[in-house]
Structure 1
Amino acid sequence: MKKFRLDDDKGFILLEILAGLIVIGIATPMIYSEIEDWLNEQLYQSAALHADEYNNAIKNYVADKTSSLSSKTITVNELIQQGYLNNGFSRSPFGHSYITGIRKNNLSGRLEALTCTTGGQDIKEDGLRRIAGQINGLGGFMLQNNSVTGAFGGWTDLGSNYQITCNKGHIAMRMAGKDLEESDRLYRYSVPGRPDLNRMHTGIDMNNNSITNINEASGKNARFSGDVTSNRWLHPNGGGFTMTDSQWIRAVNNKGITTEGEIKGGTVRGQTVTGGTVRSDGRLTAGEYLQLNGIANAGTHCSPDGLVGRDNSGAILQCQSGAWSGFESYPVGSPIPWPSATPPQGYLLMNGQSFSCSRYPQLARAYPGCKLPDLRGVFIRGWDNGKGLDGDRNRQLLSYQADQFRRLSRTWRMAERAS
């Protein structure tokens, strides 16, 4: 039997090492390519962000100077000098600077801008396309001098249209219409014929800061969590109030105040106070006469008790026990002698007639049968009430007593004749 020795497997180990080196040799270019692509992508992203920063500066510059621009060439140095770019703004990762041409569209009258990079190194076509696709807005590139192509072929233009030079191997950016009207700051100037440049498209949060020196503010609604102070009139819908002294609030043009609710105060004074209901939680005092325009008829129903009115003649009526009655001392239903055949208003002749219980509820309580006694040609006799003067012990109130014949006796004495 052959004896196994340690050096018998050396050939196999060499083969394994050789195979591993071959695999590494094949994979190395692939790994390097991936790393190179990743590094290039970081470079392209940085170039796109750099272009965006310049583009925002151009938008702000044009928005602030729209009224004075028609055609112009703008450079990085000009934007830095006027504060639209920081002093530290340098060239792009490819060593590019920027130049922008501005023109006015002959049809719309609006400004258009084209920016091209200048100087530095040329970028390959693949890099140009990838950078242009990452620029916010209308990014582009040049594959030929003066000819600008938008990302993904979205648009084309010529640098000569804007009086600038655009060389191949560089990127470009185009802005037109509303792109040049947008700014990250509130537009501060009025442009003739362009009110849209001073129009907000969102709310403003002042972050607890103030707005001062407003000449006029207009809108639909206003909500305040604190006080509203005015040194002059407040004019709601043509009316308004002011306070020219420490005591009185005055209505503009001496206008009246109306409300479906209540007006309440410690003291209410005036020449005329009108409304559906005037209520006082305390005493109601009139410095002159109290005029009552509420007309009622004595004996008719009323509610609630305590109302005060008058009849057609001006006599005061009060609502008592659900019916209007006068202020005289006679209770309702009491027979009253009257020196005339015509009773005063609110009174009835006692002719034995029936009356409406619902219309005269208080009178019905005195005469439950809703019929008045007939007192024509009779005398009113007081109720005996057990005294014994009335021969009829069972006589009731409101009963009628006819003539009564009584037995009379008399003793006559005759003088004796003298004999």
Structure 2
Amino acid sequence: MKKYDRGWASLEIGAALLIVMIIVAWGAGIWQDYLKTKGWQAEARLVSNWASAARSYIGKNYTTLQASSTTTTPAVITTTMLKNTGFLSSGFTETNSEGQRLQAYVVRNTQNPELLQAMVVSSGGTPYPVKALIQMAKDITTGLGGYIQDGKTATGALRSWSVALSNYGAKSGNGHIAVLLSTDELSGAAEDTDRLYRFQVNGRPDLNKMHTAIDMGSNNLNNIGAVNAQTGNFSGNVNGVNGTFSGQVKGNSGNFDVNVTAGGDIRSNNGWLITRNSKGWLNETHGGGFYMSDGSWVRSVNNKGIYTGGQVKGGTVRADGRLYTGEYLQLERTAVAGASCSPNGLVGRDNTGAILSCQSGTWKTIGGKLKVTQLSLVIWGNSTSDCQNGQRRGCPLLPVVEAQQVHVNGTKIHRA
């Protein structure tokens, strides 16, 4: 290369290097702006989550917040309150990356004091630059995103709205974030808590919970997996395959087509255990029990015996076989020997305990000594001597060798 060309080459190289440096510097600036924008977007998402939690908290506690706020005096919601009530996770930080702390100021609507409105405002920490505030205000998705630039007024993204902080009793400074939760927004939050959701909402079991009775208007509830209830009232029939009850089942009456099985006792208060046809009570284990197969007799199932340490009492007792006693046979009613009786074969006793039997229509003693109440002798010559009333001594008897007739108690026992 000729010497007079070397200067031009150096100039070209220097210009190229300058262009490269300008491009690098410009690219670095763009990269820095990109990183900052991503950081501000992340901050906007955190603010949106916080504002959403505050919205849900207000909807859940709408009545309470109405009672604790006025049109000028706010009810203040903090991060700690949202964490303690489960609307924010326990790991949510109290401050953002710039050390600013978020709070919600809830007041009554001036035109309609029955409705609530709120402003979420950050305070303390390091102020954000205006560019960051404008970017974050546009990226906030809950409520109406905004920022505070003069320390007194909250301004919406794209300057779409402007509200004095004093209207909400809030205080902050320049370079801070603001989110407007309008009356309509909070009314919707209150309705969320009163609406029964068809699907599960993570972290919101209250949205699947009823707080009052449901009137189905005589319509059905179909395809229910399980019904868990404290009580149930039915005006019609309850149909099912099986039923398990840990407490009592009460009703005016019950009809069962097949069997009723109880693990304990079956009791009737002032009622009967009623069976029909030729059925009664049966002990399944031992095969005994009682039943009636006609209108006269209560019968023992399988001809089982009846055993008791007490008494068996009845008008009459009949044994078709032998009658056994392990002790004594006690006859309480007495009879009088010689008195009439019926039928023959009866067994009784007199007042001394002597056994009597009914023979030929008369009570007679069984065995033992003969008791004479009247003795009559007829001898030759028709002379008669009588011994009356059981006399043994002093009875005047004529010496007779042979009597024609002898009567004892009116019964002829000898004739010549």
Scaled to the shorter chain, the TM-score interval is 0.3 to 0.5
Q: TM-score, normalised by structure 1?
A: 0.47
In proportion to residue count, which structure has more strand? Answer: 2
Question: Rg: which structure is higher?
Answer: 2
